[in-house]
A = this chain, B = another copy of it.
């Protein structure tokens, strides 16, 4: 047995050396990238892939396979080297690194079958790993999730949000590894090689923290063993390493971050030094015999039942945030994949309705929006349909996660409540006025904004079963139900609520401003002027055809009105949709920093109430005359 282990270690050493060589070759060929960042973690990767993780190297998506998340995404070349080494693709592909025709990008994205979520924005992979670990618990699988962090990355606050939540949730199926090479991009890291700085933090946050020599394969294997046997808390292996390990003229030296070895003399010198490190006589690394298998076969897909339809009466006063909670619980009833994530506002967003029925699929993140969205990304990547929700303004806290979720194209369903000045007295810090723009910016996000309870419930179901990232904006005030329970709300549609042949303008609202538009309609009608009123419940995709038709039918007069700042909002969305047909848009939006006050006072003061719509219509009529 001792000999077996000695042989294994020799083989793993050689794999590590091969990883270093591959990381250098590919980055030198690309003339960019981070070889020294890869070199510090070569033994860790070798042990993970050839001795620790259970997976099917030919089927990275295997649902019962252990997961690996490269939180330090700039070490992509060694991740690619590992998957080449286990046989997923030919090693020659590595030399196409960073080329436009190759999916081996500068940082990993799920264009690659073995990448669950895109990384490269630090501090996010560990959050996604939590989602992956929560999903294992949800489906009662014993797959484990491994996540590799950088030491510099540990300065990101999101890492500590993750640290708190993983410990609170007792995720002993999660194993973190921090590659403590002591060097950041521009200088030494905050704690360099002071391993106690790391150990005391992770211990204080409730993790099983271990300090090891990250180049000692025996120590690495022991650490993984110990982690697997630790119950009731996650493990963080703190691995002391040297950046650029294995090549003496860069090892532990500053100034080599994100720098490829120059092809020719420089690269050759580095490779020659590494070639000499191969242990002679070690058995070759054989993926077929060495890699541990997933502990179970893939199970059948999870089945969903139909979702209970809405049951409101016209005129009922129901906030869309409340309808959100109701629909979320109905979705939970219908589909075991549906999960909800909160940041301590469940009683305001009404996600507590889901929690009451499905406490095991409700993940409380306390006041930590980044890990909430990051965990949702990991859950989505593993087959769940996660609904993270909080006040819409606080989703900006996770803007970078929302961005990376777009790059990952994961199936997350964000919801933000308490949008706009219509929240009233709490004041500007609680008012989301940028959220539509933030989500519309991402090319693959669906963006929905219902005005009543029926449309909110219908759109929730549509959103749940529409593949890809999506965002729903809900409102704080109660609004009357204006749709029948059997009305349909396809994504990418709109509703024409008022229409006549003499309409002088089209007024386009969404959410609370739909009701301002309807009030304006009534006021104008009393003076024998009619307007077309549109509920633009789907901002992305947008029904350009119907908007253009409405513009044509109403003298080209389009007025948008939104409880949002102008940039990136409803006005901009409509303007772009109709620009090709030569129509322009008059935008009513919030144009200054708002303040506390009563909702109706604020709609008036900040220019988005019925009276402002009436004035805008009158002004257009004057121009037209």
Contact = CB atoms under 8 A, between A and B. Distances in A.
A348 B442 contact: no
Contacts of A201: 201, 204-205
A498 B159 CA distance: 50
Interface stretch (A224-232, A485-493, A513-521, A578-586): A578-586
B571 A576 contact: yes
A222 interface: no
Given A160-B157, A368-B156, A593 B409 contact: yes
Contacts of A344: 152, 155, 184-187
User: Interface residue tally of chain A, by bracket?
Assistant: 35 or more
Interface stretch (A134-142, A269-277, A302-310, A561-569): A561-569
A119 to B, nearest CB: 7
B568 A429 contact: no
Contacts of A597: 98-100
A378 interface: no
A98 B139 CA distance: 47
B579 A586 contact: yes
Interface stretch (A81-89, A239-247, A433-441): A433-441
B186 A342 contact: yes
Given A433-B441, A443-B565, A584-B584, A366 B107 contact: no
A623 B98 CA distance: 40
A105 B596 contact: yes
A496 interface: no
B427 A434 contact: no
A153 interface: yes
A355 to B, nearest CB: 9
B157 A427 contact: no
Contacts of A444: 592-593
A123 B367 contact: yes
Interface string A573-606: 1011011101111110011110111100110010
Nearest to A605: B100
Contacts of A443: 565, 590-593
Most chain B CB neighbours (cut-off 10 Å) among A164, A434, A440, A571: A434
Contact of A111 (B371, B595, B605): B595
A370 interface: yes
Interface string A256-281: 00000000000000000000000000
Contact of A200 (B107, B111, B204, B393): B204
A575 B567 contact: no
Contact of A347 (B118, B186, B434, B440): B186
Interface stretch (A327-335, A379-387, A396-404, A448-456): A396-404
A179 interface: no
A307 to B, nearest CB: 25
Interface string A150-172: 00110111111100100010000
A308 B204 CA distance: 50
Contact of A572 (B111, B404, B568): B568
A111 to B, nearest CB: 7
A26 to B, nearest CB: 12
A400 B394 contact: yes
A396 B444 CA distance: 18
Q: List 7 A-B pairs, minimum CB-CB distance, nearest first.
A: A157-B157, A120-B429, A100-B597, A568-B568, A399-B399, A160-B160, A204-B204
12 contacts: A33-B425, A98-B427, A152-B366, A155-B161, A155-B366, A156-B368, A156-B397, A184-B366, A187-B344, A399-B434, A443-B591, A567-B573
Given A168-B190, A438-B441, A582-B584, 20 more contacts: A102-B596, A107-B428, A118-B428, A122-B367, A123-B157, A155-B366, A157-B160, A184-B367, A185-B344, A185-B345, A185-B347, A396-B403, A404-B429, A407-B428, A440-B567, A441-B565, A568-B568, A579-B587, A583-B584, A584-B584
